[in-house]
Amino acid sequence: DAKTTQPTSMDCAEGRAANLPCNHSTISGNEYVYWYRQIHSQGPQYIIHGLKNNETNEMASLIITEDRKSSTLILPHATLRDTAVYYCIASTQGGSEKLVFGKGTKLTVNP
């Protein structure tokens, strides 16, 4: 799996957009960018994933650069419940492909 690097922590005001960056400069052509988040003392939750194109779902948007070396997860209107550790992972989509977590970004949404 390609190694990813993320800032250790970020802060965001409630109601504003939270933009979480991720560098994955060694990502291979068949690896997707996955985002998960972990709220304190819970299991991680899948957010979104993408290969080349930008993606959007009910939770977030994912912007992937054209060279695929970095991406940004966007939470358009952050709420206090979005406070969590966000993990960016590069992985293939094979059913037995293991997910290896980095240190992630601790996002704190402030009132």
Partner 1 sequence: GAVVSQHPSRVICKSGTSVKIECRSLDFQATTMFWYRQFPKQSLMLMATSNEGSKATYEQGVEKDKFLINHASLTLSTLTVTSAHPEDSSFYICSARDNGRIGYTFGSGTRLTVV
Binding site for partner 1 (CB under 8 A): 34, 36, 38, 41-46, 49, 85, 87, 95-96, 98-104
3-state helix, strand, coil in the chain (%, to 5): 5, 45, 50
Residue type at 13? A
The nearest distance, CB 38 to partner 1, in angstroms, is: 8
The nearest distance, CB 110 to partner 1, in angstroms, is: 20
**Among all chains, which residue has been given the structure tokens 């419940």?**
81
In whole angstroms, what is the distance from residue 57 CA to residue 106 CA? 22
The nearest distance, CB 103 to partner 1, in angstroms, is: 5
Question: In this complex, which beta carbon is closest to partner 1, that of residue 14 or of residue 23?
Answer: 23
